[in-house]
A = this chain, B = another copy of it.
């Protein structure tokens, strides 16, 4: 009798044994949802090594203007890519190995697939956690690469593309591991009483990867938004083609090269994760997405391409698109504490986060602050001063606002300014100077007041340093506008300020029903923009801002199917 019908190919648990406690801790944490981080978020020399930053800065500088030779994947050509630093305005001029035809990536990845599809989850988990541990040793290089492609400030570049992205990847490994081992891995004896005798079957369960995955990245968070899908696909046995945004390749290329190296060291083909670069003039995303072999697509980016991805027949898709995020101000304990917190959230990376607030709903009659009535004008003034105080601060301004990734985002500020119509400018955007980077593309936030009736203006995502204050008749209208907007146009975050328990309950309920997490009364060092691995579900799939959530069980489950075999023992 066959003892296991679905024996794994090339099982090797040595790396899993090495990282077992990390996987177990991650599975435990993701289910408890208390604070947990495997990778420390501060670029502390004590944690990451005294020389790490300077050494990796040198690697970064050596990489600029050169061929990216670390990738081990099959290729037949090189492509000079279009990355350009928002800080210096200069092209990075890095060339990457490429396939001259999009089919090449598919063929190489498919050839690599069978062993990975049929090995066991321990083998996969060991290799993937090992890759994250190696990634840790490149966090500084990844940070410089992120800074000079996305325009994020240095600290955010380190955190978002380094420890936070690695934690999100580990979270995907953890939930994947849990789901793949949820049902029996060994044979199950099925004994059905049937009168005098029992009917007996041996049953064997297995999981079948969906097939080739495609991960399409965005220009602002090339690692954080790409890694969860890549690791979710890999842990569940699917090879992945990573198609980064043509302007933000270098940061994710470093990670892909690391995964390839660990795969190769452990006897698997590096082509299991391939980097497929392209240019804006000659994009390949659609060619890849429409290929019959592509069964899974992860996408972060704009609505029109996202909706195209979701509409493709026969694909499992995971999307994150535009959101129009609201702030509901009902009442506060400390007006200035609120204003400073909101100002930081508006300034952070110049509003280029999917979680950045855009529409701030405030009763036209004013609010209660610390028990006193304050007018709308006073609320606006507090926010204006807080934004000015931060954005115009010579040190904090550049460190928080960073740079603007693209010309299109920069031009959107002027466009918003012109569309003010019946509204008014509360705070004009100014060029932001940075003493270290005289040629930086940067601007301080634009704050407008727009009437609640002008939905056509504020229902659009105005990606960038643009925020609207929208006076409402009362908090009830604020809640209705915010939740209707989330339902109709999508939202990824919501901040709310209220000192009243019943209003808090009402906001939580209304925004939950429109698929939007709410953060209440944030002040001090916690911001609505932040989404923590192991604790916060990022995007819910419950409104048009995306159809997936990082990382809920669906995010891994849809990447494989379950099947079984039954063997009659009586024969």
Contacts and interface: CB of A to CB of B under 8 A. Distances in A.
Interface of A: 1-2, 5-7, 31-35, 118, 179, 182-184, 188-194, 199, 201, 203-206, 208, 210, 311, 313, 333-334, 337, 501, 504-505, 508-509, 511-513, 515-526, 532, 535-537, 540-542, 549, 552-554, 557-558, 561-568, 570-571
Contact of A566 (B32, B520, B525, B563): B520
Given A204-B508, A313-B311, A31 B190 contact: no
B333 A2 contact: no
The 9 A-B pairs at the shortest CB distance, nearest first, are namely: A542-B561, A521-B571, A5-B508, A508-B565, A520-B567, A519-B566, A518-B565, A521-B568, A540-B563
Contacts of A118: 509
A548 to B, nearest CB: 10
Given A6-B509, A561-B542, A190 B568 contact: no
B512 A35 contact: no
A549 B562 CA distance: 8
Given A183-B31, A190-B532, A553-B182, A512 B570 contact: no
A33 B557 contact: no
Copies of this chain held together in the complex: 2
Nearest to A569: B521
Given A522-B566, A536-B564, 18 more contacts: A2-B501, A7-B505, A31-B182, A33-B184, A33-B190, A35-B193, A179-B553, A199-B526, A206-B512, A515-B561, A519-B565, A523-B571, A524-B570, A537-B562, A542-B561, A549-B562, A552-B562, A557-B557
Given A183-B33, A188-B34, A523-B571, A563 B535 contact: no
A178 to B, nearest CB: 10
Given A188-B32, A191-B34, A567 B5 contact: no
A566 B517 CA distance: 8
A565 B535 CA distance: 11
